[in-house]
Amino acid sequence: MNHDIITMDHGSGGGATSRLIEELLVPAFHNPQLSALGDGALLELSGPLVFSTDSFVIDPVFFPGGDIGKLAVCGTVNDVAMCGGTPRYLSLGFILEEGFPLESLRRIVSSIADTAADCGVSIVTGDTKVVEKGRGDGIYINTSGIGTLTWPGLSPANLKPGDKVILSGTMGDHGTAVMLARSGLLEGGDLRSDCQPLCRLAASVLEAGGVRVLRDPTRGGVATTLNEFVDGTNLSIELEEDTLPVRPAVHSACEMLGLDPLYCANEGKMLAVVDPQQAEAALAALRSTPGGEDAAIIGTVTDRYPGKVILNTCLGGGRVLTRLTGAQLPRIC
């Protein structure tokens, strides 16, 4: 057996599986629930909970600003946070391709452990499967997360005309960084994924008050997420193009790649729709929290274009932003 790569034996349920779990995974995530190594973890929790799941198939596995491990923790922690939950526990499922370097797995596991610690969540239960070479792509990860519901009642159904739409920072950093890394054009560039946990940003804006709904605009980007808010309702969302925060490097990369930052995936940004009376306070709360320095009010809920998202452009026109229709950025998360 080659000890430097994943072999089919690591997925057998036998000795190699046990060694992988006991020598790599349990020490990295050490906590009493995981160490018990039963079929599941016992959790002391009560009250209403938030439960979310995400699988991660990003290509490449390592990218500027993060890796699939950091992404897998942030993705699910952020989904729990967007529901008003305080993330507490994660499960972790690996689907490894035969031949995947153990050294890469170690780096990813370390990244998972660091990010989980940063978010205050514990990895309490897991599973590892191995598929033959050519039946996977290195590593796929699923995380499922449980949080306690700290801020109930968030929903797109709360939206009212006049509400302000706040974006917690710049758009398109993740999508462009991954696309450029994939095309091999990133050398020397300063693009980095925004992959980060949103639990602290979510808590800061929710404590400020007046929040109708939170959502992280990942696949499909800001335009697709805002469409999900107003789809089938009598409300519209109007964005002001000159307020949209986009880094110059992302702007250039989007032009080069033929992408629109409004449809690019983000992995550390949050949309908050907020009562107009409390929008400035919410904005200030975000800007004073690490990772929210570039937060901006980017639009308003109106009733002028029922069910639609409109971009009021710098030139004075209006453009309908539909949902993403094709696979602009495959395997971005």
Applying CB under 8 A, does 326 fall inside the site for a second copy? Answer: yes
Binding pattern for the stretch 58-87 against a second copy, x by CB under 8 A and - elsewhere: --------------------xxx-xx-x--
Applying CB under 8 A, does 232 fall inside the site for a second copy? Answer: no
Check if the beta carbon of residue 82 is closer than 8 Å to that of residue 116.
Answer: no
137 vs 240 by CB, closer to a second copy: 137
Residues 281-320 binding a second copy (CB under 8 A) are none
Applying CB under 8 A, does 124 fall inside the site for a second copy? Answer: yes
Applying CB under 8 A, does 133 fall inside the site for a second copy? Answer: no
Among 32, 42, 120, 303, interactor with a second copy by CB under 8 A: 42
User: Parallel, antiparallel, or unpaired: how do β-strands 318-320 and 309-312 relate?
Assistant: antiparallel
Size of the site for a second copy (CB under 8 A): 86
Q: Which helix (H) or strand (E) holds 70?
A: helix 68-82
Residues 12-41 binding a second copy (CB under 8 A) are 12-18, 36-41
**Smallest distance, Å, CB 257 to a second copy?**
16
User: Which of helix, strand or coil describes residue 68?
Assistant: helix
Residues 141-180 binding a second copy (CB under 8 A) are 142, 144-147, 149, 152, 154-155
**Smallest distance, Å, CB 232 to a second copy?**
11
Cα–Cα distance for residue pair 107/289, rounded to 1 Å: 28
**Smallest distance, Å, CB 291 to a second copy?**
18
Burial class (CB in 10 A: 0-12, 13-18, 19+), 284: middle
Applying CB under 8 A, does 127 fall inside the site for a second copy? Answer: yes
State the DSSP string of 238-278. Answer: EEEGGG----HHHHHHHHHHT--GGGS--SS--EEEE-GGG
Rounded to 5 degrees, φ, ψ at 236 are: -130, 165
Rounded to 5 degrees, φ, ψ at 223 are: -65, -45
Among 66, 126, 169, 172, interactor with a second copy by CB under 8 A: 126
Residues 84-103 binding a second copy (CB under 8 A) are 85, 89, 91-95
- Of the ranges 135-143, 164-172, 241-249, 313-321, which one interacts with a second copy (CB under 8 A)? 135-143
Beta-carbon neighbour count of residue 255 at 10 Å?
10
**Smallest distance, Å, CB 253 to a second copy?**
19
Tokens of 104: 């890469």
125 vs 249 by CB, closer to a second copy: 125
Check if the beta carbon of residue 218 is closer than 8 Å to that of residue 75.
Answer: yes
Counting every residue written for the chain, the total comes to: 333
Applying CB under 8 A, does 257 fall inside the site for a second copy? Answer: no
Which of 93, 103, 136, 128 minimizes the C-alpha distance to 9? 128
**Smallest distance, Å, CB 49 to a second copy?**
5
Residues 188-227 binding a second copy (CB under 8 A) are 215-216, 218-220, 224
Check if the beta carbon of residue 230 is closer than 8 Å to that of residue 307.
Answer: yes
- Of the ranges 51-59, 62-70, 177-185, 291-299, which one interacts with a second copy (CB under 8 A)? 51-59
Ramachandran quadrant class, 259 (left: phi over 0; alpha: psi -120 to 50; beta: rest): beta
Among 6, 20, 25, 50, interactor with a second copy by CB under 8 A: 50
Among 86, 111, 115, 125, interactor with a second copy by CB under 8 A: 125
